[in-house]
Amino acid sequence: MAQNEKLAELSAAGVAVWLDDLSRDRIRSGNLQSLVDESGVVGVTTNPTIFAAAIHGSESYDHQLHALAIREVSVEEALRTVTATDVRDACDLLRPVHERQPGDGRVSLEVAPGLAHETEATEAEAEHLWWLVDRPNLYIKIPATEAGLPAISDTIAKGISVNVTLIFSLERYRAVMDAYLSGLEKRVADGGSLEGIASVASFFVSRVDTEIDKRLDKAGADPSLKGKAGIANAQLAYQAYEEVFSSDRWRALEAKGAVPQRPLWASTGVKNPEYSDTMYISELIAPGTVNTMPEKTMNAYADHGEAGTPVQKSYDDAAAVMQAVADAGVDLDDVFRVLEDEGVQKFVDSWDELTESVRTELEAKK
């Protein structure tokens, strides 16, 4: 079946369409394969919230959980076995995509969010998950916390591909790009090959608007500023990406076989119903990017999405928006600090919920 025209145009413009969701039911029912065939999906992202929703109330996990219960494995081991199984199966399904276009056909699996502020533990779990899934088209998700940055470099240096998650500020994004380049440089210095190593940097969008809009309201600022900062912030991130990945430092690595760390637009489902349900896709179209979407958002763009101003032509306006927000009294440094803390905590809460669900299922199936 032919791919949806609007999503095909998005792909042709250089935007890789990824699905921000995964479940065993999606894989077994053929739904994920149909999204690959009909919507041009070329990647999948997951997080603890997604897995908590997938496992809750689904019978697809019963047989495996029963077997794990009989073996009396720990809750943590069961949780990792179950999630790794789904990710491995999704990697296998997307392997043909990966073989055609190595940057895509990827599936992400996140380190336990409770390790977000522990460098060595993050590195150790990243290596374990890479071994556990054992697929070349896997991404290990590591949060862009201060403790996460050295873990990203060391994980890349080991030849493990990384999806850096929870990026909100331009300052932290630049540090993430530096961590990627540093990891590649270390691997080269150690005599390793750069073949097969890839990375994406997940820059969150809608959550920025949610937090800044709230503060603009509190400050009594011009209402026309609302709903603009998330996109403007991401557009300026792409400007930073263009700068770093055209530098002499990058060219030296590229000559040794390195591939760019692509910007990935995350949190692209609109939170405010007053806003266009496709705005975080339409206004972030640029070559060499990834947009990971909830299925609802993907379907909305397939139905009525229209391309907005090219990102490369938006830099001046984007800078003006962010300056106007700051002039209105919004402390952007505090915004990004709060968003990172909340992002980590939300995933910790979802992880705890997921752990409890698995514990309950194991006990029920003994």
- Report how far residue 197's alpha carbon sits from residue 162's, in angstroms, rounded to the nearest whole number: 8
Q: For residue 261, what is the DSSP state?
A: -
CB 108 within 8 A of CB 141: yes
- Report how far residue 307's alpha carbon sits from residue 285's, in angstroms, rounded to the nearest whole number: 7
Q: What is the CA radius of gyration of the chain?
A: 20
- Report how far residue 128's alpha carbon sits from residue 174's, in angstroms, rounded to the nearest whole number: 27
What pTM was computed for the model? 0.96
Residue 366 is a catalytic residue: no
Domains, the chain: 5-360 (3.20.20.70)
For residue 258, give Cα distances in angstroms to 42, 159, 242, 251, 254.
21, 12, 16, 9, 4
The pLDDT of residue 237: 98
Cα 149 → chain centroid: 16
Of these residues, 141, 271, 346, 366, which one is catalytic? 141
- Report how far residue 276's alpha carbon sits from residue 231's, in angstroms, rounded to the nearest whole number: 13
Q: Going residue by residue through the chain (366 aa), what tens digit of pLDDT does each one get?
A: 568 999 999 999 999 999 999 999 999 999 999 999 999 999 999 998 899 889 887 899 999 999 999 999 999 999 999 999 999 999 999 999 999 999 999 999 999 999 999 999 999 999 999 999 999 999 999 999 999 999 999 999 999 999 999 999 999 999 999 999 999 999 999 999 999 999 999 999 999 999 999 999 999 999 999 999 999 999 999 999 999 999 999 999 999 999 999 999 999 999 999 999 999 999 999 999 999 999 999 999 999 999 999 999 999 999 999 999 999 999 999 999 999 999 999 999 999 998 998 898 888 877
- Report how far residue 273's alpha carbon sits from residue 347's, in angstroms, rounded to the nearest whole number: 24
CB 151 within 8 A of CB 142: yes
